[in-house]
């Protein structure tokens, strides 16, 4: 029996090629794919279990390995993250003495010694490893028995990288078999992204995607919810291309009090879209989270005592991956080390620019 655990969020071609190679090399009676359960908190909820399970099935459907493969509910039934040694132990009991191979990519082999109780895994199973591009040689070979290596090199696709692309608006990276499913269920902020794309010019859509990518990465780095940060970024300029009258109407019903409103409307109309964007996020896109709406409503002007998410949003707008000026690259780098530092820097740079251009500053 071959066991293959992973987050599969989303599953992709490299997962399937590993399974197929293992199938042809070992002719196992069973291949069990075990999607990890994810706690619905802390940077972990991207696609719920049932969707990841279904996506895996869709991808496996055309494979010759499908006839011996099964996607297991093992972790989901327990409603908690299960360690590999527990998984292997449980399946070994069920199998009553049959041989178990635990399938993994060579990238995971590097960290295997740091897994929980690796000796217990090796007592019940042999490691079956596919070499992944960039990780052809394991830096730290697994302790104990030598792993069995599958022939060939497997494509360097990672779910982590795919997620960054999906949450920043690029759905072309999905395996074609999964596109329809992801759209239908609005996974990875799909519905939001499609709605925003309709509202914006091509150039501005590229800007919000670049902003969303940075917001997603910064949220991961600083312990915020990356999907929510990417959504805020996707929405932040949603009202920017509306006629100014519409923007004003939206801003007035946004629920945010606009300090020095008359002056703002006259001297800094470029700011109105931030409050209008928050209203649009709530009205058209159904956003209910107050922190997200606040972050959108402050992304251009900032205000005192900004929340962590609002700072992240403010910095991502200025230093997103679509921005090509020198200060944006430097600020982006700094933001991964210090969000407060990057926020102060952005604030300073924006104010200095307004002063230089003799423009009114909203404070």
Nearest C-alpha neighbor of 105 from the set 156, 174, 35: 156
d(CA 110, CA 306): 40
Q: Where does this chain bind Fe ion (CB under 5 A)? A: 237, 300, 317
Provide CB contacts within 8 A for 223, sequence distance 6+: 42, 43
Structure tokens at 163: 């997620």
217 versus 237: smaller Cβ distance to Fe ion: 237
Cβ neighbour number for residue 239 with a 10 Å cutoff: 25
d(CA 121, CA 230): 37
Q: Write down the H helix ranges in 96-201.
A: 106-109, 118-124, 159-167, 176-185, 190-199
Residue 198 CA, chain-centre distance (Å), reads 22
DSSP structure class, residue 30? -
The least CB distance from residue 196 to Fe ion, in Å, is: 12
The least CB distance from residue 317 to Fe ion, in Å, is: 4
121 versus 280: smaller Cβ distance to Fe ion: 280
Structure tokens at 5: 């655990």
Helix axes 190-199, 176-185, angle to 10 degrees: 80
Report residue 353: phi and psi, to 5°: -65, -45
The least CB distance from residue 308 to Fe ion, in Å, is: 19
Angle value at C-alpha 328, between 322 and 331, nearest 5 degrees: 130
The least CB distance from residue 218 to Fe ion, in Å, is: 15
Cβ neighbour number for residue 179 with a 10 Å cutoff: 13
18 versus 315: smaller Cβ distance to Fe ion: 315
The least CB distance from residue 240 to Fe ion, in Å, is: 6
The least CB distance from residue 355 to Fe ion, in Å, is: 20
The residue count for the chain? 363
Nearest C-alpha neighbor of 154 from the set 4, 62, 2, 16: 16
The least CB distance from residue 283 to Fe ion, in Å, is: 18
121 versus 300: smaller Cβ distance to Fe ion: 300
The least CB distance from residue 245 to Fe ion, in Å, is: 18
300 versus 339: smaller Cβ distance to Fe ion: 300
12 versus 345: smaller Cβ distance to Fe ion: 345
């Amino acid at each position: 029996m071959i066991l293959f655990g992973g987050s599969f969020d989303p599953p992709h071609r490299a997962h399937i090629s590993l399974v197929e190679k293992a199938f042809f090399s070992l002719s196992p009676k069973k291949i069990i794919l075990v999607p990890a359960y994810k706690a619905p908190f802390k940077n972990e909820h991207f696609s719920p279990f049932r969707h990841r399970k279904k996506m895996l099935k869709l991808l496996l459907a055309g494979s010759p390995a499908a006839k011996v493969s099964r996607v297991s509910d093992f972790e989901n039934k327990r409603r908690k993250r299960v360690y590999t040694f527990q998984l292997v132990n449980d399946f070994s009991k069920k199998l009553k003495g049959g041989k178990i191979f635990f399938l993994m990519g060579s990238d995971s082999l590097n960290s295997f010694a740091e897994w929980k109780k690796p000796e217990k895994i090796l007592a019940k199973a042999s490691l079956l490893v596919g070499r992944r591009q960039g990780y052809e040689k394991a830096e730290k070979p697994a302790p104990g028995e030598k792993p069995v290596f599958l022939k060939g090199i497997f494509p360097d696709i990672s779910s982590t990288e795919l997620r960054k692309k999906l949450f920043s608006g690029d759905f072309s990276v999905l395996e074609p078999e999964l596109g329809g499913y992801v759209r239908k269920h609005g996974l990875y902020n799909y519905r939001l992204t499609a709605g925003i794309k309709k509202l914006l010019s091509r150039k501005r859509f590229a800007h919000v995607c670049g902003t969303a990518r940075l917001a997603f990465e910064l949220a991961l780095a600083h312990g915020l919810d990356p999907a929510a940060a990417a959504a805020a970024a996707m929405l932040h300029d949603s009202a920017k291309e509306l006629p100014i009258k519409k923007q004003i109407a939206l801003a007035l019903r946004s629920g945010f009090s606009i300090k020095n409103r008359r002056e703002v409307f006259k001297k800094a109309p470029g700011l109105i879209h931030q409050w209008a964007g928050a209203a649009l996020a709530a009205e058209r896109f159904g956003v209910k989270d107050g922190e997200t709406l606040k972050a959108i409503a402050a992304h251009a002007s900032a205000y005192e005592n900004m929340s962590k998410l609002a700072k992240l949003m403010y910095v991502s707008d200025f230093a997103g991956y679509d921005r090509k000026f020198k200060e944006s690259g430097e600020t982006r780098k700094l933001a991964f080390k210090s969000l407060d530092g990057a926020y102060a820097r952005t604030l300073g740079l924006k104010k200095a620019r307004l002063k230089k251009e003799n423009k009114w500053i909203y404070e």
